[in-house]
Amino acid sequence: MEKKDMQEQVVINGVEQFRGFAKEGRCASYIPMLAERNPDHLAVSVIGPDGYEVRAGDSEELFTLQSVSKVLTFILACMDKGLPYVLERVDVEPTGDTFNSIIRLESHQPGKPFNPMINAGAITVSSMLTGHSPSEKLTKLLHFLQQITGRALTINEAVFQSEWQTANRNRALAYYLMDSGFLDCPVEEALEVYLKQCAIEVTVTDLAKIGLVIAHDGYHPLLKTQLFSKEVAKMAKALMVTCGMYNASGKFAAFIGLPAKSGVSGAILAAVPSHASLHSPFPTGCGIGIYGPAIDEIGNSVAGVQLLKYLATKWQMTIF
């Protein structure tokens, strides 16, 4: 068996081995459209800097970014406004709280959201994107994603509508942020951007490409272009490690040790820097996209996390 085939076999085996873990989770129920997904799906894509991709499972499935989008808008806001502007409005500290918690906005004056990976911080970040309307801001974001993935992504309107109708908790967060001065545009605009960015549809291959660019510090190895600064890329990776997997980020760092961001759709984005995969048989410096819609109570794909842990161990990938 050739080396490439061997690696493909690893991901195929992984999907087979961990698909069953889906039983221990369930599709996000608070967003009606997500509840209808097939909980047994599991897919993975890994892409190296030479464009070499291995894929397994239901890799043709389209799914929404959900919280994975938080990394992307953070990067875009930094590109648009500069890091100092962004960091004045959102901190980069993990919290240990659930992603939709509102308590800290009141208990820690002046109510600056703790990091861009929880809903409060992400809504603040979405409010900062440049553009005269939600539509302009989203056009910019989609353009940015098209640069990375090489294809035009679209917003799943049904998912957006479904979330928009039930976004009371996010509205509470947004109005609270507005009251404390941490929102850069009207609430409804910020929420429209935020919920539409969450509803952008991708495949695991798209995720893997995003991970690839972040892994390479903003440089797109296939396009041979620097899309965003090294400084912003490194901060994004730091945020993914400290806050990316909701309030299981500490455990994820401890047991897996890769910059990653999950979404309640069951998406996981991982960025493996070259230096974190020196001993990997896979080309060093890769991006990983995973999809497994059955999530645990914290919001992470149950089978997806197991699969990622398996790959990290198998290929000796870790930043630690």
- Catalytically active residues are 67, 70, 194, 246, 264
Q: Among 305, 285, 287, which residue's Cα sits nearest to residue 295?
A: 305
Please select the residue that binds a copy of itself; options are 67, 73, 115, 149, rule is CB under 8 A. Answer: 115
Amino acid letter, residue 186: P
67 is in an annotated binding site: yes
Name the residue nearer to a copy of itself (CB basis): 257 or 281: 257
Q: Is 6 in the site for a copy of itself (CB under 8 A)?
A: no
317 in Cβ contact with 272 (< 8 Å): yes
Within a 10 A sphere around the Cβ of 21, how many other Cβ atoms?
Answer: 19
Rounded to whole angstroms, the Cα distance separating 243 from 240 reads: 5
Choices 4-12, 37-45, 97-105, 124-132; region in contact with a copy of itself by CB under 8 A:
97-105
Please select the residue that binds a copy of itself; options are 249, 265, 301, 306, rule is CB under 8 A. Answer: 249
Q: Is 222 in the site for a copy of itself (CB under 8 A)?
A: no
200 φ, ψ (degrees, to nearest 5): -70, 135
171-190 binders of a copy of itself (CB under 8 A): 171-176, 178-179, 187
Rounded to whole angstroms, the Cα distance separating 112 from 14 reads: 41
258-317 binders of a copy of itself (CB under 8 A): 259, 273, 275-276, 278
- The angle subtended at Cα 245 by Cα 244 and Cα 249, nearest 5°, is 90
125 is in an annotated binding site: no
Residues in binding contact with a copy of itself, number by CB under 8 A: 52
Rounded to whole angstroms, the Cα distance separating 167 from 198 reads: 12
Rounded to whole angstroms, the Cα distance separating 22 from 317 reads: 24
Annotation: binding site for substrate = 67, 119, 163, 170, 194, 246, 264
Binding residues vs a copy of itself (CB under 8 A)? 91-97, 101-107, 114-115, 168-169, 171-176, 178-179, 187, 234-235, 237-239, 241-243, 247-251, 253-255, 257, 259, 273, 275-276, 278, 318-320
